[in-house]
Amino acid sequence: MAVIDIAPYAPVGEEGAAFAKLALNRMSQGMSGSTILRIAGEINAMQAEGRDICNLTVGDFDPDQFGIPASFRDDIIAALQAGETNYPPAVGLPATRAAVAAMYERELGLKYPVDSVIMGSGARPPIYATAALVLEPGDKVLYGTPSWNNHHYVIINRCEAVTVEADRSTDFLLTGEMIADKLDGVRLLALNSPLNPTGTAYSAEQLTGICDVVLAENARREAVGERPVMVMYDQVYWMLTFGETQHITPVHVRPAMAKYTIFVDAISKSFAATGLRIGWGVVPPALSGAYKALIGHMGAWAPRPGQVATAKLLLSHEAISSYHADMKAGVEARLMALHDGFSAMGRDGLPVSSIAPQGAIYLSVNFGVQGRSCRGRSFQSDEDLRSFLLDEAGFGVVPFTAFGIGRDTGWVRLSIGAVSLQDIDRGLARIREALSELV
C-alpha cells in the first residue's frame, strides 16, 4: 500500500498557526492548556535527568503509593473475562446506578431515585453536562477562587464568569455574605467540597449561609417566573475527610436545595482510580430526562467492565471501609507530615505556614517571601517562588494562580498522591536548607 505522508498538505509552524486561526472558533482559541500539566512535564524532564524531586503537582496517584482496592481490580478482570465488553446503556448499567443510589442513602443519608443517577466517564462529563443542561451562551456562572478548572469551563461553555476571591479567613471557601450581592443574572453556582486546591471543606455553617442566600433568590425569581440559580456540588473527594471534618452537602443543611442541586461525583479520587474513568451526576428527578439525553449523546460513557465492578464495590460498606482504613491513613499521614514540617519551619522563624488538612489530597501552604531573595534569586511573583522551590529544593508545587486567582499571594497547592513519606522528608529538609539562606 502506498503511504500518503500528510506533511506537505497539513501545515505546521507559522503557516499551521495561521490556518488554525481561521479554522478554529473563538471559544477554542480562548482555551489554554493545563498549567498543572505543563509544570508536571517540566518535573518529568528533571526526574529523567536523575534529580530527586518531591513531586507534589499533579492531582493524581502513583499506583505504587496508592493502588485501587484489590477485590475491585479482580472484579474488573472477571468482568472482562465474562465478556462485558459491549456498549453499556448510555446512562450507565442499571446495577451501577442502583449501587450509587444505595451508597448515597447508606453513607450520605440522601435518598434519591435510581433514575437521578447518570453515569459518565469520570467526573468531568457530568460537570460538562451540568453546564450544558442549564446554561445558555453568555449566562453567568458564579464560583469562588481558588478553585479547580472553573476558569477553563466557563470558556468551553461560552459563559461569563462571576468570581469571588476567598482567602485564608474562610479557609478559601465561600460564605453566604460573600455571594449575596453577586447573584444578579447568575444561573449556576459551582461549589466543590473538599476543595481542590486547598484541601479545606465546607462547614455546615458556611454552607447553610450560602444555601439560604440561594433559596431566597430562587423564591424571588420563581415568584416572577425567572430561571433559578442551580448549584453544581462537586464532591469527588467526599470520602476523603480527616479529623473532625465531616462532609456536608447543600441538601443536608437545607433539604429544599434538592430541587436546585446537581451532584458531581466519581470513584477517581476516593479509590485512587483516576484512570478507570467512572463517575456520575445525581440530578433532581425533574431534570434527569434531559441529563440522560445529554450524556447519552455526548458518548462519554463509563467503561463497562469498570461499571460492573463499581456496582459491587459501592454496595459493600465493608469493602469501602477496609480499603479506606489504609488508603485514607496513607493520605492523611503524608498531608500531616507536610503540615507538621511547615509548622515547625514557621516556629523556627521561616516565613511559611500551612492550613491543617481537612479533606482531599491537598495541602495549602503559604510562603511569605514576596520582595525577598535567596541564593541570588529574587521573589517578585508566585512563578519565581515555584521555580525556586523546584530548582533549589527539588520540591514541585502548583501556585494558586493556576486555580483562577489573578494575583500573586504566595499560596501554593501540594498534592500528595504520588509521593512517599521518605520523598516528603527529603523534600522538606531541602526546603528548610534553602529558605535558611533567605535575605
Q: Which range in 2-10, 19-27, 116-124, 247-255 contacts ligand PLP by CB under 6 A?
A: 116-124
Nearest distance from C-beta of residue 240 to ligand PLP, angstroms: 11
Nearest to 138 by CA among 116, 162, 118: 162
Q: Which of 59, 69, 394, 404 binds ligand PLP (CB under 6 A)?
A: 59
Nearest distance from C-beta of residue 238 to ligand PLP, angstroms: 10
Nearest distance from C-beta of residue 150 to ligand PLP, angstroms: 10
Q: Which of 157, 274, 353, 366 binds ligand PLP (CB under 6 A)?
A: 274
User: Does 359 help bind ligand PLP (rule: CB under 6 A)?
Assistant: no
HSE, CB side, 13 Å, CA atoms: give it for residue 99.
22
User: Does 364 help bind ligand PLP (rule: CB under 6 A)?
Assistant: no
Q: Which range in 48-56, 118-126, 199-207, 281-289 contacts ligand PLP by CB under 6 A?
A: 118-126
Q: Which of 53, 91, 124, 135 binds ligand PLP (CB under 6 A)?
A: 124
β-pairing verdict for 279-282 and 261-266: antiparallel
Cα-only R_g, the chain: 23
Q: Which of 157, 261, 268, 353 binds ligand PLP (CB under 6 A)?
A: 268
Q: Which of 150, 196, 206, 364 binds ligand PLP (CB under 6 A)?
A: 196
Write out the binding residues for ligand PLP, residues 279-308 only, by CB under 6 A.
279
Cα–Cα distance for residue pair 148/195, rounded to 1 Å:
8
By CB under 6 A, the count of residues binding ligand PLP is 13
Chain position carrying cell 461553555 = 157
Q: Which of 53, 68, 123, 178 binds ligand PLP (CB under 6 A)?
A: 123
Nearest distance from C-beta of residue 368 to ligand PLP, angstroms: 27
Give me the 153-192 binding string for ligand PLP, x by CB under 6 A, dash otherwise: ---------------------------------------x
Q: Identify which of residues 148 and 263 has a Cβ nearer to ligand PLP in the complex.
A: 148
Contacts of 328 (CB under 8 A, 6+ apart): 239, 240, 242
User: Does 241 help bind ligand PLP (rule: CB under 6 A)?
Assistant: no
Q: Identify which of residues 24 and 37 has a Cβ nearer to ligand PLP in the complex.
A: 37
User: Does 314 help bind ligand PLP (rule: CB under 6 A)?
Assistant: no
Write out the binding residues for ligand PLP, residues 135-154 only, by CB under 6 A.
148
Q: Identify which of residues 59 and 394 has a Cβ nearer to ligand PLP in the complex.
A: 59
Rounded to 10 deg, the angle between the 317-347 and 304-315 helix axes is 90
Cα–Cα distance for residue pair 188/299, rounded to 1 Å:
24
Nearest residue to ligand PLP, using CB?
A: 122
User: Does 234 help bind ligand PLP (rule: CB under 6 A)?
Assistant: yes
Q: Which of 69, 88, 92, 122 binds ligand PLP (CB under 6 A)?
A: 122
Q: Identify which of residues 279 and 394 has a Cβ nearer to ligand PLP in the complex.
A: 279
Q: Which of 103, 110, 266, 424 binds ligand PLP (CB under 6 A)?
A: 266
Nearest distance from C-beta of residue 267 to ligand PLP, angstroms: 8
Binding site for ligand PLP (CB under 6 A): 59, 122-124, 148, 192, 196, 234, 236, 266, 268, 274, 279
